[in-house]
Amino acid sequence: MAEKPTDEAPERRARGRPRAWGDTSDQNTIKSLDRAMEVLERLSELGGTTLSDLAQDLGQSPATIYRVLYTLEARGIVDFETGTQTWHIGAGAFLIGSRFLRRTSLVERARPVLRALMHETGETANLAVERDGLVLFLSQVETHETIRAFFPPGTMSPMHSSGIGKALLSRMEPARVDQIIAQHGLERFTDRTLSDAAALHADLAVTRARGYSVDAEEKTTGMRCIAAPIFDVHGEAVAGLSISGPAARMPAERQEAQAQAVMRAAFAVSRGIGGQMI
């Protein structure tokens, strides 16, 4: 007996990508959009620049770059400062970026812990994650002291010369660490920077064993940082928490006491997001 026909349309499965999403050929790239993203990324790195300088930096004609900037300005993604004739990242870009932070409860959970850590230690407290082999700072609570460290949200920094970077590297497989070294190198910022792979691996072994890392003036002369990893429900290090400040206020004799405060704070955030240490 034939099946009774139905007017109901077959249920369609929701898709986040088309069937050919793995195709990375040029046919799936919108070149004008790709160029706009290149302009936006470079502008964010420069912090502000003129049209001619940006065009020269990107190897594009000023007319092409202007069309991109004009389009982004209409959306509030970039701003133009008439007095200096310079282009800057706009409020629209901040709003989009802030929505990234709402994807996870990490920043929300960490915020009161950062405040408490700053009050306990008297130093600036920071929260960051790893993105593409670099440290991406998500949140900061500044000390009330006049001399302070400053890492505004969105700042990116090399991992090998960062307290949080080394805390996260210490929980990675050596092959992953070597991959990051190959990708970004080991730039020397001060005479204390660990610019040798063997020295970095040795430092990471010590960091993993004691549970915290130390940036002893390795990025900036006169500034120190102590950091500890934050763990998710799988026991994986997904973020790092630190305090940073002048070496005079963070001497070696205070390191252990300050490190204990940092580790307690990192544990509190880990617990707040359902994390555990394995």
Q: What is the CATH number of the domain that holds 253?
A: 3.30.450.40
Q: Which of 43, 68, 95 is the last residue of a domain?
A: 95
- Nearest Cα neighbor of 274 from 228, 238, 240 is 238
Residue 68 exposed, middle or buried by CB count within 10 Å (0-12, 13-18, 19+): buried
Tell whether 156 and 254 lie within a shared domain. Answer: yes
Q: What is the DSSP string of 214-228?
A: EEESSSSTTEEEEEE
Percent of the chain with pLDDT over 90: 71
Same domain, 196 and 139: yes
**Pair of tokens at residue 123:** 């130093």
* Separation between Cα atoms, residue 39 and residue 183, nearest integer Å: 22
Q: 272-275 long-range contacts, Cβ below 8 Å, gap at least 24?
A: 272/105, 272/109, 272/110, 272/113, 273/104, 273/105, 273/106, 273/109, 273/230, 273/232, 273/233, 274/232, 274/233, 275/230, 275/231, 275/232, 275/233, 275/235, 275/238
Per-residue pLDDT of the chain (278 residues; tens, 9 = 90+): 455 555 555 555 556 555 554 555 556 668 889 999 999 989 988 888 999 999 999 999 999 999 999 999 999 999 999 999 999 999 888 778 766 655 557 888 899 999 999 999 999 999 999 999 999 999 999 998 877 777 778 889 999 999 999 999 999 999 999 999 999 999 999 999 999 999 999 999 999 999 999 999 999 999 999 999 999 988 999 999 999 999 999 999 999 999 999 999 999 999 988 887 65
* Same domain, yes or no: 85 and 109: no
222 falls within a domain: yes
Question: Do 163 and 70 belong to one domain?
Answer: no
Residue 154 lies in a domain: yes
Q: What is the pLDDT of residue 1?
A: 47
Domain-located, residue 44: yes
Residue 15 domain flag: no
Q: Which domain holds residue 65?
A: 30-95
- The sheet that has 124-131: what strands, in order across it? 156-158, 134-141, 124-131, 237-246, 223-231, 213-216
Nearest to 200 by CA among 262, 241, 158: 158
The answer to whether residues 128 and 191 belong to one domain is yes
Interior/surface letters 150-176, b for 16+ CB within 10 angstroms, e for the rest? ebebeebbbbbbbbbbbbbbbbbeeee
Decide: 135 and 153 in contact? Cβ < 8 Å. Answer: no
Task: Please report whether residue 91 resides in a domain.
Answer: yes
Identify whether the C-beta of residue 89 lies closer than 8 Å to the C-beta of residue 78: yes
Q: How many domains does the chain have?
A: 2
Instruction: Report if residue 3 sits inside a domain.
Output: no
CATH number of the domain that residue 43 is part of: 1.10.10.10
Instruction: Note whether 109 and 243 are same-domain residues.
Output: yes
- Is 259 part of any domain? yes
Residues 117 and 245 in one domain: yes
